C-alpha cells in the first residue's frame, strides 16, 4: 500500500491583489506531491514563487484556487486555528534569518513549540536540552540569541524545528546568512535530522551546493514548476 503523501497540492494558484491593477500571480496551477521521508530542493530565480510555495506547504497561507491535502486532510478551507494546530504538531520551520525570539534563551526558544503543545516543564526542559546537545550547543542553553554566532543561531533554529517531531521540515534559504563552513555544518545537521527522524524536508535555495544535498529537485519559474527531477 502506497503511504499517504505528507502534502499534496492540486492545481494550486495563489494570486495577490486579485482583480486589481497590481495583481500578482505568485503560483499558477502548481501540482505537487511530497511523500514522507523525501528530501526536496526548490530552486528558481527571485519572484519565481518558491517562498509562496513554501508558505502554502507550511500552511502559513491558503491558496486562491486549488486543493492542498495535509496527510489526506484538505486544508484550503480550514480556519487559522486548525492550521495552527497542524503546524504545531506536524511542521518545523527553519528561516534564513533564524527568527529566534530575542528575549528567550536558546533553551527557551527550543522549548517554545513544546510549550505550545502543553508539554510539562520538566519534560520540555529535558527534550530541549537533548536537542541542543544534538546540534552541538550543549552548554549554551542559557545564551540569548544576541550572544550566539549566526551558525549557532541557525542550529538553535534547527533544534526548535525538530522539537515537536515534525513530519515535514521546511527550510527557506537556511544557509543564506552563513559562511561556507557554517553552512556545511547546518546542512549536515539538516541531513542528519532527515535521516534520523524520517521527516520530509523541503529546502528553498538559490545555492546549488545546498540543493545538491536533496534527492529531488524542483525548479520554478513565473509561479510554475518547470522541472521536477530526482537524483543527487
60 makes contact with other proteins (CB under 8 A)? yes
- Applying CB under 8 A, among 6, 49, 50, 61 the residue interacting with other proteins is 61
- Applying CB under 8 A, among 69, 78, 116, 184 the residue interacting with other proteins is 116
121 makes contact with other proteins (CB under 8 A)? yes
Give the footprint of other proteins on residues 160-189 (CB under 8 A).
160-161, 164
**Euclidean distance between CA atoms 61 and 24, whole angstroms:** 15
DSSP state of 3: P
117 makes contact with other proteins (CB under 8 A)? yes
58 makes contact with other proteins (CB under 8 A)? yes
- Applying CB under 8 A, among 29, 55, 71, 215 the residue interacting with other proteins is 55
Question: In the numeric block, which cell numbers belong to residue 168?
Answer: 515535514
Instruction: Output phi, psi for 227, to 5 deg.
Output: -155, 135
Residue 62: alpha-carbon gap to chain centroid: 16
115 makes contact with other proteins (CB under 8 A)? yes
**Euclidean distance between CA atoms 194 and 46, whole angstroms:** 27
Angle between helix axes 121-134 and 106-116 (nearest 10 degrees) is: 130
Q: Which residues pair with 9 in a beta bridge?
A: 32, 68
Nearer to other proteins, 2 or 81 (CB): 81
* Cβ-based burial of 14 (10 A; exposed 0-12, middle 13-18, buried ≥19): buried
Nearer to other proteins, 43 or 61 (CB): 61
Q: Which stretch binds other proteins (CB under 8 A): 30-38, 93-101, 194-202, 209-217?
A: 93-101
Give the footprint of other proteins on residues 126-165 (CB under 8 A).
160-161, 164
> CB of residue 57 vs other proteins: minimum separation in angstroms?
12
- Applying CB under 8 A, among 104, 150, 191, 222 the residue interacting with other proteins is 104
Alpha carbon separation from 24 to 14, 61, 174, 194 (Å, rounded)? 8, 15, 26, 34
Length of the chain equals 232
Residues found near other proteins in the complex (CB under 8 A): 51-52, 55, 58, 60-61, 80-81, 84-85, 87-89, 91-93, 95, 99, 101-104, 108, 112-113, 115-117, 121, 160-161, 164
Amino acid at each position: 500500500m502506497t503511504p499517504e503523501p505528507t502534502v499534496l497540492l492540486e492545481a494550486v494558484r495563489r494570486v495577490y491583489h486579485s482583480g486589481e491593477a497590481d495583481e500578482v500571480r505568485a503560483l499558477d496551477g502548481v501540482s505537487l506531491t511530497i511523500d514522507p521521508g523525501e528530501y526536496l530542493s526548490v530552486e528558481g530565480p527571485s519572484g519565481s514563487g518558491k517562498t509562496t510555495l513554501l508558505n502554502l506547504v507550511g500552511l502559513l497561507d491558503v491558496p486562491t484556487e486549488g486543493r492542498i491535502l495535509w496527510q489526506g486532510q484538505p486544508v484550503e478551507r480550514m480556519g487559522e486555528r486548525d492550521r495552527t494546530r497542524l503546524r504545531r504538531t506536524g511542521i518545523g520551520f527553519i528561516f534564513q534569518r533564524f527568527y529566534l525570539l530575542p528575549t528567550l534563551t536558546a533553551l527557551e526558544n527550543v522549548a517554545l513549540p513544546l510549550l505550545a503543545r502543553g508539554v510539562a516543564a520538566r519534560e520540555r526542559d529535558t527534550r530541549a536540552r537533548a536537542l541542543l546537545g544534538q546540534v552541538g550547543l550543549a552548554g549554551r542553553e542559557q545564551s540569548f540569541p544576541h550572544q550566539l554566532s549566526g551558525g549557532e543561531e541557525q542550529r538553535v533554529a534547527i533544534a526548535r524545528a525538530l522539537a515537536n517531531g515534525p513530519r515535514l521540515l521546511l527550510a527557506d534559504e537556511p544557509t543564506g546568512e552563513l559562511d561556507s563552513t557554517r553552512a556545511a555544518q547546518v546542512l549536515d545537521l539538516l541531513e542528519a535530522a532527515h535521516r534520523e527522524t524520517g521527516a520530509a524536508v523541503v529546502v528553498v535555495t538559490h545555492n546549488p551546493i545546498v540543493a545538491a544535498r536533496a534527492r529531488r529537485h524542483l525548479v520554478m519559474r513565473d509561479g510554475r514548476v518547470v522541472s521536477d527531477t530526482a537524483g543527487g
